[in-house]
Amino acid sequence: MSDLIRFGIVWCSSLLSGVGSSLTGFVLGVWVYQTTSSTTLFALVMLSGLIPAILVGPFAGVIVDRFDRRRVLIVSDCLTSVSTGVQALLLYSGSLQVWHICVGSFVGAICGTVHMTTYQAMTPLLIPERHLARANGFMQINVAAQIAAPLAAGALLAAIGMAGVLVLDLVTFAIAVGTLVVLRLPAAVLRPPGGGSVNAPLADLSYGWRYLRERRDLLAIVLAFTGFNFTFAIAGVLIQPLILSFGSPGVLGVLMFAGGAGVFVGGLVMGVWGGPKRRIRGMGLFMLLGSAFLVLHTIQPSALLVGVAAACFLFTLPVVHGTGNAVLQSKVEPDALGRVMGTAHTIGGAATPFAYLLAGPLAEYVTEPLLSPGGALSGNIGALIGTGPGRGIAFLILLDALVLAAVAVAVLTVPRLRRVETLAPAVA
Integer Cα distance of 101 and 5 in angstroms: 37
Of the pLDDT bands very low, low, confident and very high (cuts 50, 70, 90), residue 39 is low
pLDDT at position 428 = 45
CATH 2.170.120.20 for domain 1-191 = no
Of the pLDDT bands very low, low, confident and very high (cuts 50, 70, 90), residue 147 is low
How many CB atoms sit inside 10 A of residue 217's CB? 20
Average pLDDT over residues 417-422: 77
Average pLDDT over residues 407-424: 83
How many CB atoms sit inside 10 A of residue 319's CB? 28
Q: Report whether 74 contacts 180 (CB < 8 A).
A: yes
pLDDT at 145 over 70: no
pLDDT at position 232 = 92
Of the pLDDT bands very low, low, confident and very high (cuts 50, 70, 90), residue 227 is very high
Residue extents of the structural domains in the chain: 1-191, 206-428
pLDDT at position 348 = 87
Handedness of CA 309, 292, 219, 206 (dihedral sign): negative
pLDDT at position 151 = 66
Say whether 206-428 and 1-191 share the same fold.
yes
pLDDT at 6 over 60: yes
pLDDT at position 275 = 84
The percentage of the chain sitting over the pLDDT mark of 90, rounded to a whole number, equals: 33
pLDDT at 93 over 60: yes
Phi/psi for 134 (5° steps) reads -60, -45
Q: Report whether 315 contacts 308 (CB < 8 A).
A: no
Integer Cα distance of 3 and 86 in angstroms: 36
Does residue 139 or residue 217 have the better pLDDT?
217
C-alpha dihedral, 285 to 291 to 292 to 297, nearest 10°:
150
Of the pLDDT bands very low, low, confident and very high (cuts 50, 70, 90), residue 150 is low
Of the pLDDT bands very low, low, confident and very high (cuts 50, 70, 90), residue 14 is confident
pLDDT at position 427 = 54
pLDDT in tens, 180-214: 898 888 888 887 665 554 445 566 778 888 999 99
pLDDT at 397 over 80: yes
CATH number of 206-428: 1.20.1250.20
pLDDT at 404 over 90: yes
Residue 309 half-sphere exposure, CB side, CA atoms within 13 Å? 23
pLDDT in tens, 311-368: 999 999 989 988 988 888 888 888 888 888 889 888 988 888 888 788 888 888 899 8
Integer Cα distance of 400 and 387 in angstroms: 19
Average pLDDT over residues 107-129: 87
pLDDT at 84 over 80: yes
